[in-house]
């Protein structure tokens, strides 16, 4: 299993975005980027243009098209999609059907309770796409390493 490194500042920023955008009432998503030279070193958190409600969200198509072009220019990719759930963190059927990237090793992280809890992975759920195309859960403490 690969270890992804995550700067503490990116983690803090992710929670700030979730709280400001979701206001404890709506789901929100951020995307953690890394460079193709070092795909397991997360460097940045991006907040996509999206609509949302208590039980889900949808990324704006035009925004996403521009975003893919920008990533190509910068030689970066989305390493982990991160989103909030109203209650407990789990991987929902919608999460399975619509990953933003569908390639082996791509990861999805779910943060519970609209990210209103402490900054960190308490109650969070991480999984990744396997060679067979299915999602498998990963041990968060070993698969994601927060660095300062
Ligand atoms: Zn949002």
Contact by Cβ (8 Å): 58, 50: yes
- Does position 94 have pLDDT exceeding 70, yes or no? no
Going through 4-118 in order, the beta strands assigned E by DSSP cover 4-7, 29-35, 42-46, 50-53, 56-59, 76-84, 107-111
Q: Tens digits of per-residue pLDDT, 7-23?
A: 999 999 999 999 999 99
Q: What are φ and ψ of residue 82, in 5° steps? A: -125, 130
CA angle 48, 45, 40 (to 5 degrees): 125
Quick one: pLDDT at residue 104?
A: 86
Q: What is the pLDDT of residues 100-140, one digit of tens each?
A: 777 889 999 999 999 999 999 999 999 999 988 888 999 99
Q: How many whole angstroms separate alpha carbon 99 and alpha carbon 81?
A: 8
pLDDT at position 97 is: 61
Instruction: Give the total number of structural domains in the chain.
Output: 1
- Gap from CA of 81 to ligand 1 centroid (Å): 12
* C-alpha 41 to ligand 1 mean position (Å): 23
Q: Which residue has the higher pLDDT, 97 or 41?
A: 41
Question: Which residue range(s) make up the domain with 87?
Answer: 4-147
CATH number for the domain including 69? Answer: 3.40.140.10
Compute, in angstroms, the gap from residue 75 CA to the centroid of ligand 1: 24
Q: Name the nearest CA neighbour of 34 among 45, 24, 25.
A: 45
pLDDT for the residue numbered 52: 85
């Amino acid at each position: 299993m690969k270890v992804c490194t995550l700067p503490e500042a990116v983690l803090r920023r992710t929670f700030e975005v979730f709280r400001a955008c979701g206001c404890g009432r709506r789901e929100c998503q951020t995307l953690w980027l890394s460079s193709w030279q070092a795909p397991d070193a997360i460097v940045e958190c991006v907040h996509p243009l999206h609509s949302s409600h208590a039980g889900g969200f949808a990324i704006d198509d035009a925004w996403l098209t521009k975003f893919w072009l920008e990533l190509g220019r910068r030689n970066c990719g989305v390493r982990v999609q991160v989103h909030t759930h109203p209650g407990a963190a789990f991987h929902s059927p919608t999460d399975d059907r619509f990953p933003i990237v569908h390639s082996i090793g791509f990861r999805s992280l779910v943060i519970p309770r609209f990210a209103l809890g402490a900054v960190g992975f308490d109650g969070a759920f991480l999984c990744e796409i396997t060679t067979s195309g299915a999602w498998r859960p990963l041990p968060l403490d070993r698969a994601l390493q927060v660095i300062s």
